[in-house]
Amino acid sequence: MANPTHLGFQDAMSPLMEELLYFHDHTLMILILISSLVFYTISALLLQKLYHSNTSDVQEVEMVWTILPAIVLISIALPSLRALYLMDETNNPCLTIKATGHQWYWSYEYTDFSTVEFDSYMTPPQDLSPGHLRLLEVDHRMITPMNSTIRMLITAEDVLHSWAIPSIGTKMDAVPGRLNQVMITLTNPGVFYGQCSEICGANHSFMPIVMETTPLNHFQLWLEDHTTS
């Protein structure tokens, strides 16, 4: 969970987010090295009085500054393609959940169970319990089992929305009349917060997303309570 003085990304809570953080750090290190080299070269040209006219017309130097950028681009492209592949990979899901965006709340439907569906509204500030987060807590959390592959089907009923949880590296647009799919795998229990990331009207800031991941036996107990009620 981010805090007011937080810099950078939230802690990765899914294998996909760990891969995205690795790619970010990898690319940022390359940018720092290139920026340092360019800054050193400019400083040397400005401060150094000696100039070798022969070095400006050497084929070996031209080969280096042609091949080196190609190597840098390949070192960035390969991890990028790996991350894109992992984001689009579809395994056999253990559970399918359909999230529908409304103005201004989310509704969830566990499609493997015909009776498990509910709406999720933001909890008003006056009704918050101690420890709950203002503008981020909801009355009904989306409960998921840990160590399981979950398929999210995301759509909208009225206008464009976006289902996003930063700590698990998931962001998918909710488009009326269209089903978008995203796969989620969580290895640790916890409560993960997100918000609608597409401007969708006057109360766009007041439709949070809360996903609670629990061990499988706790999820089964929650499921039994909701299928019998």
pTM higher than the cut 0.85: no
Out of 26-40, 79-93, 162-176, 193-207, which region has the weakest mean confidence (pLDDT)?
79-93
Is the bond leading into 104 cis (omega within 30 degrees of zero)? Answer: yes
Report whether pLDDT(229) > 60: no
pLDDT in tens, 179-217: 999 999 888 899 999 999 989 888 888 999 999 999 999
Smallest CA-to-CA distance from 44 within 55, 31, 32 is with 55
The predicted structure's pLDDT at residue 6:
78
> pLDDT-derived band of residue 71, with 50, 70 and 90 as boundaries?
very high
- Band of the pLDDT at 75, cuts 50, 70, 90? very high
- The answer to whether residues 159 and 176 touch, using CB atoms and an 8 Å cutoff, is yes
Domains and CATH numbers, the chain: 15-88 (1.10.287.90), 95-228 (2.60.40.420)
